[in-house]
């Protein structure tokens, strides 16, 4: 006689960026094992890039398997929606409260408690998806999608990585006469286009990134030296 099966609950959340409704189930025991094993295996790999790629792939595969929507493609999500989704699934799988450590401005590490349901994606009131570079030239931008996570692992050096994120976020370049689709140019051609920009134009691009939607949590840390307000906005801040 087959053993009874326990029905797995399903939940729904709305992705803040795309507005898409996602139906998901929590991680199963075997998937938590896969995640924990992947962290362990990655720590044993001497090649850091290989280890990071392996972790990102495993993490996306497990998260994808929890989504019940048909034709769901995790790599099509903007990175901030992926982060939000991960937080939602984790909250329903492991628990809604996490206690990471926050380092107060006085240097004291303080244990803080976060309800994962209170983490939001902050969106600018008006985000312009074009950047004016001056002289009639401009960029049509798009948000970074989850597929850049693995690609970035292989970009050497911090500055190069910043240029790469930029290149992945440009949809097209335009001037008064034409539109140039980035897919028609090589990564190198685009990088040199960006490197040759005047500084003011580059700052305009920076503004686009500063304004990009991101996960955020605001709270107050109870430091022995006095309470301190804090804002967290990196996925890793919520769990470390
Ligand atoms: Zn303090």
Indicate whether 234 belongs to any domain.
no
pLDDT of residue 155 exceeding 80:
no
Cα 115 to ligand 1 centroid, rounded to whole Å: 22
Which residues make up the environment of ion ligand 1, defined by Cβ < 5 Å? Answer: 104, 106, 108, 223, 225
Q: How far is the CA of 228 from the centre of ligand 1 (A)?
A: 7
What's the number of domains the chain is made of? 1
Q: Determine the distance separating the centroid of ligand 1 and the alpha carbon of 38, expressed in angstroms.
A: 36
Residue 233 lies in a domain: no
108 Cα: distance to centroid of ligand 1 (angstroms): 6
Q: Model-level pTM?
A: 0.84
Is 179 among the domain residues? yes
64 found inside a domain: no
Q: Strands 137-141, 130-134: parallel, antiparallel or unpaired by DSSP?
A: antiparallel
* pLDDT tens digit sequence for 37-47: 888 888 888 88
CA 223 – ligand 1 centroid, Å:
5
- Asked whether residue 107 is domain-assigned, the answer is no
Compute the half-sphere exposure of residue 70: CA atoms within 13 Å on the CB side of its CA.
0
> Confidence band (pLDDT; 50, 70, 90) for 114?
very high
Segment 15-44 mean pLDDT: 89
Ligand 1 centroid–CA 222 distance in Å is 8
Distance 219 CA to ligand 1 centre (A): 14
Residue 168 lies in a domain: yes
C-alpha 109 to ligand 1 mean position (Å) = 8
Q: What is the pLDDT of residue 123?
A: 87
Q: Domain of residue 196: give its range.
A: 130-210
Q: How far is the CA of 123 from the centre of ligand 1 (A)?
A: 30
Task: Give the whole-angstrom CA distance, residue 76 versus residue 92.
Answer: 23
Q: What is the pLDDT of residue 188?
A: 86
Mean pLDDT of 13-39: 90
Cα(first)–Cα(last) distance of the chain, in Å? 45
Residues whose CB is less than 8 angstroms from the CB of residue 207 and which lie 6 or more positions away in sequence, other chains included:
131
Question: Does the residue 78 lie in any domain?
Answer: no
Q: Confirm whether 143 is domain-assigned.
A: yes
Spacing, Cα 224 to ligand 1 middle (Å) = 6
Ligand 1: centre distance to CA 221 (Å) = 8
CA angle 226, 117, 71 (to 5 degrees): 145
Please give the distance, rounded to the nearest whole angstrom, from the Cα atom of residue 216 to the centre of ligand 1: 21
- Structure token digits, residue 236: 């890793």
CA of 231 to the centre of ligand 1 (A): 15
Ligand 1 centroid to residue 106 C-alpha, Å: 4
């Amino acid at each position: 006689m087959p053993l009874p099966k326990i029905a797995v609950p399903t939940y729904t959340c709305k992705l803040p960026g795309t507005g898409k409704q996602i139906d998901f189930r929590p991680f199963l025991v075997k998937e938590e094992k896969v995640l924990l094993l992947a962290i362990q295996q990655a720590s044993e790999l001497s090649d850091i890039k290989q280890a990071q790629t392996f972790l990102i792939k495993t993490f996306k595969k497990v998260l994808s398997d929890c989504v019940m929507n048909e034709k769901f493609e995790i790599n099509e999500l903007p990175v901030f929606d992926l982060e939000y989704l991960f937080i939602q699934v984790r909250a329903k799988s492991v628990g809604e409260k996490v206690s990471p450590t926050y380092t107060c401005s006085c240097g004291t590490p303080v244990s803080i408690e976060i309800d994962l349901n209170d983490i939001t994606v902050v969106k600018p009131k008006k985000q312009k998806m074009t950047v004016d570079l001056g002289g009639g030239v401009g960029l049509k931008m798009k948000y970074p999608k989850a597929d850049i996570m693995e690609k970035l692992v292989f970009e050497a050096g911090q500055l190069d990585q910043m240029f790469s994120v930029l290149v992945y976020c440009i949809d097209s370049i335009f001037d008064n006469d034409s539109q140039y689709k980035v897919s028609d140019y090589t990564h190198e051609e685009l990088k040199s286009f960006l490197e040759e920009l005047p500084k003011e134009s580059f700052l305009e691009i920076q503004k686009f990134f500063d304004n990009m939607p991101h996960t955020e949590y605001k709270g107050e840390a109870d430091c022995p030296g006095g309470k301190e307000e804090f804002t967290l906005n990196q996925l890793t801040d919520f769990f470390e």
